Amino acid sequence: MPTPTKGPRLGAGPAHERLMLANLATSLFQHGRIKTTEAKAKRLRPYAEKLITLGKRGDLHARRQVLAKIADKAVVHELFTEIGPRFENRTGGYTRITKVGPRKGDNAPMAVIELVEALAAPAARTAPAAAKTEAPEAEADDQPAEGATSEQTAQADETSQAEGEAQAEEK
């Protein structure tokens, strides 16, 4: 007897479920991170990670196996040329799911699923968001520093830089 797939059924027929997972995986490889419901994210994780493993293998057979699932050839090309090599030193665990709370409207629990080693573009997109949260603090620091000596401002600059570096390391 075949082992049932882990996780919830996605409330649709088997064909619809296959298409949903394929489309979710396509979007994930295109954008690096997507926001979806927790149930879909949990189903997508093993599906996408198997595709990335095929992307790491990189031979023609693997490419045809991926093409059997994902229709978009541009995405498959990106998977084999960029995403696969990026995970060279990682033996699984290519994606990360973070829960982000219930959705307005139907209270569905939402989650963000992302590739662990992010592309340059999504990293740049998250960086301004982090900078926004830091910006009010930095301004608050600067205003009293104007009246103070230059040494104190220099120290403040150093600390803010150190915070930035620490955040960069965390990422």
Partner 1 sequence: MAVPKRKMSRSNTRTRRSQWKASRPVLVNCPRCRDPKLPHIACPTCGTYNNRQVISPAS
Binding status of residue 140 toward partner 1 by CB under 8 A: no
How does DSSP assign 151-163, residue by residue?
Answer: HHHHHHHHHHHHH
If one asks whether residue 132 binds partner 1 (CB under 8 A), the answer comes out as yes
Q: Which two tokens stand for residue 1?
A: 């007897």
Torsion of CA 149, 151, 156, 160, to 10 degrees: 150
| Chain centroid to CA 139 | 30
Q: How near is the Cβ of 20 to partner 1 at its closest, in Å?
A: 23
The piece of 21-29, 67-75, 77-85, 124-132 that touches partner 1 (CB under 8 A) is 124-132
Does position 103 interact with partner 1 (CB under 8 A)? The reply is no
Point out which span in 4-12, 87-95, 123-131, 151-159 binds partner 1 (CB under 8 A): 123-131
Between 57 and 125, whose beta carbon lies closer to partner 1? 125
Would you say 20 or 130 has its CB closer to partner 1? 130
162 and 141 Cβ atoms separated by less than 8 Å: no
Burial class (CB in 10 A: 0-12, 13-18, 19+), 151: exposed
- Of 9-17, 51-59, 73-81, 96-104, the segment contacting partner 1 by CB under 8 A is 96-104
The per-residue DSSP string of 140-152 comes to: HHHHHHHHS-HHH
Instruction: Based on the shown chain and the rule CB under 8 A, indicate whether residue 130 belongs to the binding site for partner 1.
Output: yes
Round to whole Å and give the CA distance between 153 and 167.
21
- Other beta carbons within 10 angstroms of residue 155's beta carbon come to 13
Check binding of 139 to partner 1 (CB under 8 A): no
What is the spatial distance between Cα 97 and Cα 63, in angstroms, rounded to a whole number? Answer: 26
- Residues of span 7-36 touching partner 1 by CB under 8 A: 35
Asked if 70 is part of the footprint of partner 1 (rule: CB under 8 A), the reply reads no
Interaction of residue 6 with partner 1, rule CB under 8 A: no
Residues that bind partner 1 (CB under 8 A): 35, 98-101, 112, 126, 129-130, 132-133, 170-171
